[in-house]
Amino acid sequence: MRRGDLLYVGGEWIASTGNRSIAVVNPATEEEVAAVPDGTTEDVDAAVRAARLAFPAWSALPVAERTRFLAALRDGMAARQAELAETITAEMGAPLKVATNVQTGLPLQVLASYLDLAGTIGATETVGNSMVMHEPVGVVAAITPWNYPLHQTIAKLAPALLAGCTVVHKPSEVAPLSTHILAEIAESIGLPAGVYNLVSGTGAVVGEALASHPDVDMVSFTGSTRAGRRVSELASATVKRVALELGGKSANVILDDADITVAVKVGVANCFLNSGQTCTAWTRMLAPASRYDEVVSLAAETAAAYTVGDPTDPATRLGPLATAGQRERVLSYVDRGAAEGARLVCGGREGTGLPERGYYVAPTVFADVAADATIAQEEIFGPVLSIIRCADEEDAVRIANSTQYGLAGAVWSADVDHAVAVARRLRTGQVDINGARFNPSAPFGGYRQSGNGRELGRHGLEEFLLVKSVQLP
């Protein structure tokens, strides 16, 4: 059997206790490229047992040794980066350039950032007559999505392992293949048995078994808000720690003194990155009334220039959506937007120039979108941009804060201090000023129904640590 046909549990490649598999379909060709085991609750039990057995020795290992394993994991991923990128392109459709620069490039940066933090592990603090120390939380269930399969895995795995935790990982059944390569790398570097375990399968079986398992100490989940609620419900029975990175409906606030050309072009690119399948995507473009027509015209022109097609073609800017179901979901929102009175200025259901095969949606821009419209309130997860007119700055802040989410956002202004002042008023976990670059060492996470807890950097590391106070005489 190929290793993709197996689970990785306790340092060994083993068959599932079940006899079913899950097809992995290339969304550009609609052809099956592989199949992975449809894991069972018994498989979860075995993986959790392996992680529990490995925990005492791994948590007691000197930090320098755990750091050495993380460095070896980084080097192994770097050596196989081209293979990882090609695999991600095949399993979920990201254009190869995006798969190389973002899907695999970013997790390498994240790993490097955690290597820099290794010296902070084990530090104690004196508070009066107390010594305050940090200890690993224990066995962690990491449940990751299909849109950034490797990055979301590393964002959980790297800090968990560095903290001294052991991990049972359930990747998305849509895009699990890159994580099988990761498990091969973990094996090749001699990561101790049971420290990292991989169980593929569905959320309804493997995911729920992990979230409710009495021997799992923490669940770190990335996915939809609906699924995050279910994880919280199941985890509450054993009062385990839960970290959730969920959906978003981020606002791109363009103030009237902004460089409109740059703000719109960067805003469209952000919205359409990864075919719009990004939780932080700026899907609402909030434009000042004084420059509204200019914004709409430029956004439509920018979107129309995007090349849609084969994700292995270097010229492609927009690949397919990950699944047929996701395409239909996105198109249903396109229909809803038109039905509720928004003005379609680019793309739509009948968008031209799309490949005959594959789960493609044309880059779509709606203007004259009401702030309370469905497409302005719900996460679409596709290449659909809503442009909303704002009477003034107060109106823009009100609209930006008018959804259930609070994951990301942006503010554009010629006055950086003014932009920062507006950013302070946005109820969201991160805000980019004038297109500032993503920082993999800064805390990442949301407000409200975008989740709780933080990933990346020192704050992400602290999620996997417990605090103990020792009172001294």
User: Catalytic residues, which ones?
Assistant: 245
- Spatial neighbors of 197 by CB under 8 A, at least 6 apart, are 7, 8, 9, 10, 47, 50, 51, 166, 167, 168, 169
Detail the DSSP E strand segments found in 178-283: 196-198, 218-222, 241-245, 251-254
What gap in Å lies between CA 119 and CA 126, rounded to an integer?
A: 18
What gap in Å lies between CA 460 and CA 439, rounded to an integer?
A: 13
What gap in Å lies between CA 439 and CA 457, rounded to an integer?
A: 9
Q: Are 360 and 308 in contact (CB under 8 A)?
A: yes
| Residue 352 main-chain phi, psi, to 5 deg | -95, 165
Nearest alpha carbon to residue 446 among 401, 408, 410, 400: 408
Cα–Cα distance list, 363 to 133, 161, 261, 320, 358 (Å): 51, 40, 19, 11, 15
What gap in Å lies between CA 241 and CA 216, rounded to an integer?
A: 9
Torsion angle in degrees (nearest 10) through CA of 124, 126, 127, 133: 20
